Amino acid sequence: MYAVIVTGGKQYRVEKGDVIFIEKLAAEQDATVTFESVLAVGEEGSVKFGAPTVEGASVEAKVLKNGKGKKLNIITYRPKKGSARRMGHRQPYTKVEITAING
């Protein structure tokens, strides 16, 4: 059984036991989170699509870790002006394991 969920402005196709990295959630480690915005739920031979979400469907996940991704170096400059600026960014994420798909 699989489901398509929406979190952090992105869509993910998940199955039970999958470990995914999503946009940071306000949840502590080892907490359980429930995703209510399920776009589709499918099994072998049958798929239920929502308009826009499937009624009564939810996906439960366990938070494994909160962290930051690898550092991205950003360099901006203005040609012929002798001006340059160097910045860095580390995107925060939440690592979750899908424990149950209801619906």
Residue type, 73: N
Measured CA angle at 56 (ends 3, 102), to 5 deg: 45
Helix, strand, coil share of the chain (percent; to 5) = 0, 65, 35
Has residue 24 got a pLDDT over 90? yes
Beta strands 58-68 and 32-35: pairing type? antiparallel
Summarised one tens digit per residue, pLDDT across range 41-94 is 998 889 999 999 999 999 999 999 999 999 999 999 999 999 999 999 999 999
Bridge partner list, 55: none
Q: What is the pTM of this model?
A: 0.85
